[in-house]
Chains A and B, each alone.
Chain A
Amino acid sequence: MKLKRRTFLKGAAATGALVGLGATQTEFPFQGLMKVDGSDQTTKKVFQNACPRNCYDTCSMLTTVEDGVIQFVEGNPQNTYTNGTICVKGNVYPRTVYSPDRIKYPMRQKGRGSGNWERISWDEAYTEIAENILKIKKEYGSTLPICLNKYSGNFEIMHYGIEGTMSSIGYTTRATGTPCWPAGIDAQTFDFGTILNSDPEKMQKSKYIILWGVNPAWTAVHSMNFIEAAKANGAKVVVIDPILTNTAGKAHDFIQIKSSTDGALALGMAKYILDNGLFDQQWLEKNSKGYREFFGYLDNNITLEWAAEKTGVSVDVIENLAREYATTKPANIWIGYGMQRHTNGGQNVRAIDALAAITGNVGLEGGGANYAQLDSWGFNYHAMIHPPPEGSEGEANRPVNMNNFAADVLAAEDPPIKMMWIAGRNPVQQDPETTLIKKAFHAMDFVVTADLFMNKTVELSDIVLPVTTPFETPGVNVSYWHYWMTLNEQAIKPLHESKSDVEIAMGLSEKMNELEPGSCTYPTSGDLNEWVGKEFNETILEQFGMNTWEEIKDGPVKMKNMEVAWKDGKFRTPSEKYEFYSEEAEQFGHHPLPVYVEEMKSTEDHPYRCITPHWKLSIHSQFQDLDWMEAINDKPYVEIHPELAARHHIKADDLVKVYNEIGYVTVPAKLTRTVQVEEVVIYETWYKNLNYNVNYTVKAIPADMGEKATGMPGIAFHDNFVNLEKV
């Protein structure tokens, strides 16, 4: 009879005796030495965490910690959107935490970009930073020569303490704006008054889903579950995209559209809907402003033939799509961020919004023109908001355009920018016009970067500060897509000498006040867990149905009454109606109606559009650098249609130089018929062992919108035109 292995192990562990148990003496040598599993002696605890990365899904996670070491990170099933699962990036977290590549202690680089780093103490780091700040303040009379560039590396609420660090030393220069999504935000702000999407879990109620320029199979995996559920309930799924993505692979129908012409398709559809009387007159009368003007524009300016010509989609297909969309209710459109990264991106979003409005899908369960939401973000921002020290020179922070960062930094005068503080960003890898970005860095007197890994931006810094992962510091997270709030508990002690951004702010404040009393208003101590509580206010507690903030410790909670956006018909526009005709749009220099604005076109020298979408194994420069990720994929590629490849005598895996007037990137070719002939696709990310950066070719061309809601227009990332050359 055989003893069960587990039972045997327990016995072995308890007694420490290995020989002679379970197996007969002769069998034993051939079975090998039994592993002593000391699991009975370890302490095991499960913590709540949240993924703070710049992603739709903002997962609720559970972290199993044994004897202070993370063993497993998994999804928290209490959150019904992320539904107990996390994506490939979330699953790599144990390696993020324990990666040998982590920056372990503060370091000083002798010679920016030299790689000649020396370890310093936190005290030395604080001293050097504080002295530089005070020196600048003395020399220029204000702290405006200090520029903060912080954004989406970590959206956990306490991480706004980074902005707090700067506020507490005086008025500074701030990289302002958001590269990702502002054109769409403005578009929806003109139409609806703000961005507000229905609870994405309600997508399963939809009977017709259009995924427009969005690839959730790679970038919002949990939403695919609700799309699959809708399919199971009989819904039809249509994907409109320049690329036949993995999401398109799951759809019923795929419409391959010429990039940046989405507005033309939407307007063509609207024209068909108008001509065939498929619009919802009642809804329009009651809820909208300016629909007659819009219909007039359609009547006078739009034909289906024109739309077909523009988009490369045939009249039949447009008609069919318009009829199906207008007659199948509820019909949901998910507007992706990719499709608004164009010089006409905002206008295209407005045209799509209009489709949802004229068909009465706005305010309908399972309907809508869903883009994003920020309604669940009403925290106190206690870690962020600190007054400037008394007697600070100036009146306000000075904005520079995050989306034209290098040029703006170099052009800043009176005072010029002399010092940069970078946190939660990697501009040298991820900003457009890398060459110019490097120039801006080299023009600085002093650069401080706080980061987890030795990335391209850290390489151009003077001081690097090691920061914590989400598992090493407490906080609280919400999403810009779903409506869940998740507490982020500290699961383990910070590794090495890493500190959270708030701790860094406290330490720096102490040093500054030591060197010059009163020079920094940031608190020098505080319990971070208590600070999490200070982020809550009455309104947000009520929104989430909590009596006290501590209730979040029992698990993720969902904001109430967000199932259907705009159900109440109270739009946040000046007219409180859906505005086809927006005077605000006009004030910002746009046509008041959702009209078609010509897309950017290729040139003779640079005949191909180069799209640089998000990559499935990374969020920008996060995650793909880890060796666990490299085991899945360790090299980039450019996707080229075989016809285009043949034109340039390029075969599969040949090295291809993708270039334009500002730079080039060299990548192996992947031939695929899932991209269009005149467009190539390179996925943006960072490989730690490769000198690979798509942004050498990407220009900082502004998108049409973004200024109203985010302060700066977005970037037309996908209006990048290149030529190809076999290396």
Chain B
Amino acid sequence: MHELPLVIFTVFSQIAVGAMVTLWIIDLKGGVTSNKIGKGLSISIFVIALVAILSSVFHLGQPLEAFRALVNVQTSWLTREIWLFSLMLLTMIGYIFTWSKKYENKRKIVGGVSSLFGLIAVMGSAMIYVLPAMPAWNNFSPIFFFVMTGVLLGPLYVSVVLYFFDKESMNIWKVAPLMALVYAMSSFFYITVLLSGTGTLETTANNIMSHPMFVYRGVFSWIIPAVVLLPFFFFKVKRKPAFMLLAIVFTIAFAGEIIGREIFYNTIVELDINQVD
């Protein structure tokens, strides 16, 4: 199955949620110096989330009938995911509104609600893949990896935008290299566990490692953010990476995540007849 719309949907929605949560936290700590910047940033996040949702529709055989997917809240994680992202988008409209009217306290509450919906939505969209039919996914890994995409790219995105407008904003970029390390180590751990399994688990791991793009995924998402940004932690003079540098790291890590998600979809081995663990 060709899953490009799903790749775009998941990565974009996770960036949006990561960024939303980041913005909300920074705002709580008073790190956004101008309402104009806050509003612009939140609108951009809204647009990213909207692009994500629109893209997801093209994954369907019948895009025009997407609305029908709203009905099975009882058991379908896809239905739940759509509702959760819709709620996030709805509350974000309120959030954008509060930036312009300067309702500071309401903004923090609405932002919190929106962030919460987003976070649950990302986990919900991961739950779609937690299936007994997909042994390599039937564990915590889809949730973890989906959240990691948000944690790696969200803060990086916010800091790139903030730096563009305000050189003195908070050091939120520092999250990215640390998370890249965590991400790399847990991915290594995940593949090791799969390899120690048999049947579909082992095949999935072999598929991942033998995927022609796997090395790019590792370098782009894990090594470059860590190697480029970590040294800034140790400079004696309090130096920050330049805007261009952050923007490049973000772009590379973004590419890494797109590749990574493509690998995610293309390497999974399902249970099937004569294909049993």
Contacts and interface: CB of A to CB of B under 8 A. Distances in A.
Interface string A602-623: 0000000000000000000000
Interface in B101-143: none
Contacts of A32: 65, 68
Interface in B57-72: 65, 67-68, 70-71
A277 interface: no
Contacts of B71: 30
Size class of the contact patch on chain B: under 10
A29 B66 CA distance: 11
Contacts of B68: 29-30, 32
A364 to B, nearest CB: 44
Nearest to B68: A30
Contacts of B70: 30
Interface in B240-272: none
B28 to A, nearest CB: 40
Nearest to A31: B68
Contacts of A29: 67-68
Contacts of B65: 32
A29 B69 CA distance: 11
A585 B169 CA distance: 106
A30 B68 CA distance: 5
A30 B70 CA distance: 8
A576 B96 CA distance: 106
- A-B pairs, top 7 by smallest CB distance, nearest first, are A30-B71, A30-B68, A32-B68, A29-B67, A29-B68, A32-B65, A30-B70
A412 B118 CA distance: 85
Interface string A19-39: 000000000011010000000
Nearest to B69: A30
A29 B68 CA distance: 7
B253 to A, nearest CB: 39
A30 B66 CA distance: 10
Interface of A: 29-30, 32
A32 B65 CA distance: 9
A625 to B, nearest CB: 26
Contacts of A30: 68, 70-71
B168 to A, nearest CB: 52
B71 to A, nearest CB: 5
A38 B107 CA distance: 58
B203 to A, nearest CB: 15
A29 B65 CA distance: 9
Interface string B44-87: 00000000000000000000010110110000000000000000
7 contacts: A29-B67, A29-B68, A30-B68, A30-B70, A30-B71, A32-B65, A32-B68
A452 to B, nearest CB: 34
A30 B71 CA distance: 7
A29 B71 CA distance: 10
A29 B67 CA distance: 9
A29 to B, nearest CB: 7
Contacts of B67: 29
A74 to B, nearest CB: 27
A440 B65 CA distance: 60
A45 to B, nearest CB: 35
A28 to B, nearest CB: 11
Interface in B213-244: none
A32 B61 CA distance: 14
A300 B68 CA distance: 86
A32 B66 CA distance: 11
A30 B72 CA distance: 10
A355 to B, nearest CB: 41
Nearest to A33: B65
A30 B67 CA distance: 8
A283 to B, nearest CB: 51
B77 to A, nearest CB: 18
Nearest to A27: B71
A27 to B, nearest CB: 9
Nearest to B72: A30
A556 to B, nearest CB: 38
A25 to B, nearest CB: 15
B174 to A, nearest CB: 47
A561 to B, nearest CB: 48
Nearest to A32: B68
A30 B65 CA distance: 9
Nearest to B65: A32
A464 B71 CA distance: 57
Nearest to B62: A32
B160 to A, nearest CB: 42
A681 B70 CA distance: 55
B74 to A, nearest CB: 13
A320 B253 CA distance: 74
A516 B65 CA distance: 68
A32 B67 CA distance: 11
A575 B67 CA distance: 85
A79 to B, nearest CB: 34
A237 B70 CA distance: 59
B24 to A, nearest CB: 34
A23 to B, nearest CB: 13
A331 to B, nearest CB: 38
B83 to A, nearest CB: 14
Nearest to B70: A30
Interface string B133-169: 0000000000000000000000000000000000000
A30 B69 CA distance: 8
A655 B65 CA distance: 46
A30 B79 CA distance: 13
B61 to A, nearest CB: 13
Interface in B18-57: none
Nearest to A30: B71
B73 to A, nearest CB: 12
A67 to B, nearest CB: 28
A604 B137 CA distance: 55
B82 to A, nearest CB: 13
A30 B73 CA distance: 13
B72 to A, nearest CB: 9
A107 to B, nearest CB: 38
A30 to B, nearest CB: 5
B190 to A, nearest CB: 30
A29 B70 CA distance: 11
B80 to A, nearest CB: 16
A653 to B, nearest CB: 15
B63 to A, nearest CB: 15
